[in-house]
Chains A and B, each alone.
Chain A
Amino acid sequence: MTDIQEILEKVTSKYGKQRSALMPALQAIVKEKNYLSDEDIVAVAKTFDLSTAEVYGTATFYTFLDTVPRGKYVIRVCKTISCHMAGKDEIIEALQKTLKIKVGETTVDKKFSLLTANCMGWCHKGPVMLINDEVYPELTPQKAIEIIQSYQQK
């Protein structure tokens, strides 16, 4: 796992140390470490000369900047209307069974977190899920399970 200082150096060398570099910094940490730990938030605050409350307050505004531990692969199933009509409930059920966790939880091996999210811009090809940045449209329960199995082998 990459060291937090290393991540921050990379970000600040590209974006500087102004406040406008804060989002790229938080995003880079989540990308590497799956979530923002308390220690990481303190380190970010130091780097940008902000209060930890300020950094934490910013992070918690954004759904994709998790401040609780998440698995290596974060699954987000779209739950908004078009995907709802296209059968997102069956997808979620299949994933819960396969991963043996409920929405909001992380598997014991810390490999998967299962979450729901709002419309992801694939409504014509619902139901859809994201696994980290990857998009999986036109799901069926069977297809969703197969995709998870391919990740389990990774």
Chain B
Amino acid sequence: MENKLKKVDLIFCKTCQDDIEVVKKALKRNPDDIINEIIDSGLKGRGGAGFPTGLKWKFAKAQPSDIKYVVCNADEGEPGTFKDREILDQVPTKVLAGMAICAYCIGAKEGFIYLRAEYNFMLNKLNQIVEEFNSKMKEVGLNFEIQIRSGAGAYVCGEESALFESIEGKRGEPRNKPPFPTVVGLFGKPTVINNVETFVYTAMINHLGAQRFKELGTQDSRGSKVFSVSGDTPKAGIYELELGMTVEDFVKEFGDGDTKAVQVGGASGHCVPRKKFENTIIGFEGIPTGGSMMLFNSSRSMYNVLKDYLEFFTEESCGQCTPCRVGCQQLLKGIEAVKRGERPASYLEELKKLAQTMRIAAKCGLGQSVANPFISIVDNFKEEIIY
């Protein structure tokens, strides 16, 4: 049978574009044209939430403010995700070019890269590259300077408003939304925050045109995407693939022959069991993902997988709002109690209700998304949770 999975080599290609030339070319264009082309390309954010990138830039541009910011989210904390590290390591100036084009479009003079502390090993090298890039921007006549700020080991700081708080020198506690970052962002100013990979695609679209990008993917999920593949697979690693494939296609390529489940989108994503491989599309029309794909074979206990995720969320919850702070703990305690037989199997239904409440009542995406792994694992692997 034909394998529908298409590998692409755009992101990591080092000879495909001269990044300074790409910026120079953009500076000759009208910002509205650039933004409209990105809107037309159908590019959606690669950090997980999938907001249309062009629209985000358009909103920020429309804000009347002398001070605006461009922020690159390099916090990459979602378990199972490691593609942003590779992008920053291999093709950093592509990211910087995307940020510069964004700055030109919305009228920002300062940019920040928020790099997770775990990636400090590349900080010196990256700082040098950023400095060189900054002086090149002066040469080409763009008044825009980028700085790098380090994180300090908090997953929640990948959430955009928590990330702003952290750069501002505060506890990384997410803010209420609205207002959204394009209106009130970093230091209270209109801000575009995008994922590392998203910025690369914006530069690429500017260089190759929207058409090339639109040729890839599907109606709802345009383009290609970098996937981080780990778990029970002989081919763990980083792959750029065209969007719109099914989990079945994916498993055919990456599975070890015994794949029983794939977690799409990291700890906060969804678990897809074998019987649903065929009908589940990886993309915004099916299950969206920031790129994390974890494979589990039949030797794994899905109880342990779920327990791992819940421990992760319990530790990483910022504790600011009750549904998440208490909810994560109770879900964890709950499945442990069911496992020990202290609670009947029907208790899982109560826990699912709790997870659903968190989806509605939690303040940020962290608490809201705990229901994704919880419900998808409990529903599909109930026996493994109970016995």
Contact = CB atoms under 8 A, between A and B. Distances in A.
Contact of A121 (B116, B123, B304): B116
A126 B230 contact: yes
B319 to A, nearest CB: 9
B229 A134 contact: no
Contacts of B153: 62-65, 117
Given A121-B118, A133-B120, A23 B77 contact: no
A118 B312 contact: yes
A124 B172 contact: no
Interface in B98-121: 116-121
B305 A81 contact: yes
A45 interface: no
Contacts of B169: 18-23, 58
For chain B, give the interface size range.
Answer: 35 or more
Interface stretch (B41-49, B206-214, B232-240): B232-240
Interface in A83-108: 84-85
B231 A23 contact: no
A85 B81 CA distance: 16
B308 A122 contact: no
Interface in B122-159: 123, 149-155
Contacts of A147: none
Nearest to B319: A61
A135 B334 CA distance: 36
Contacts of B167: 20, 23
Nearest to B309: A81
B172 A62 contact: yes
A123 interface: yes
A24 interface: yes
Interface centre among A58, A123, A133, A135 (most CB of B within 10 A): A123
A82 B237 contact: no
B166 A119 contact: no
Contacts of B82: 121-124
A81 B154 contact: no
B230 A124 contact: yes
Interface residues of A, number: 35
Contacts, number: 119
A135 B238 CA distance: 18
A124 B123 CA distance: 22
B172 A27 contact: no
Contact of A118 (B79, B152, B230, B236): B79
Contacts of A62: 151-154, 172
A27 B309 CA distance: 28
Interface string A10-21: 000000001111
A4 interface: no
A124 B238 contact: yes
B170 A19 contact: yes
Interface in B215-255: 228-232, 236-238
A84 B301 CA distance: 12
B121 A63 contact: no
B377 to A, nearest CB: 12
B121 A135 contact: yes
B116 to A, nearest CB: 7
B342 interface: no
A27 B308 contact: no
Contacts of B154: 61-63
Given A80-B79, A85-B232, A121-B118, 19 more contacts: A18-B169, A19-B168, A19-B170, A23-B166, A23-B169, A26-B152, A27-B117, A27-B150, A57-B171, A61-B172, A62-B153, A63-B154, A84-B308, A117-B118, A121-B82, A121-B84, A124-B228, A133-B121, A134-B121
In the complex, the 10 A-B pairs of residues with the closest C-beta atoms, listed nearest first: A22-B169, A62-B152, A63-B153, A124-B236, A64-B153, A123-B230, A61-B171, A119-B79, A19-B169, A64-B152
20 contacts: A19-B169, A20-B167, A23-B150, A61-B172, A63-B154, A65-B153, A80-B79, A80-B267, A81-B79, A81-B305, A81-B308, A81-B312, A82-B80, A85-B232, A119-B78, A121-B76, A121-B82, A121-B84, A123-B231, A124-B237
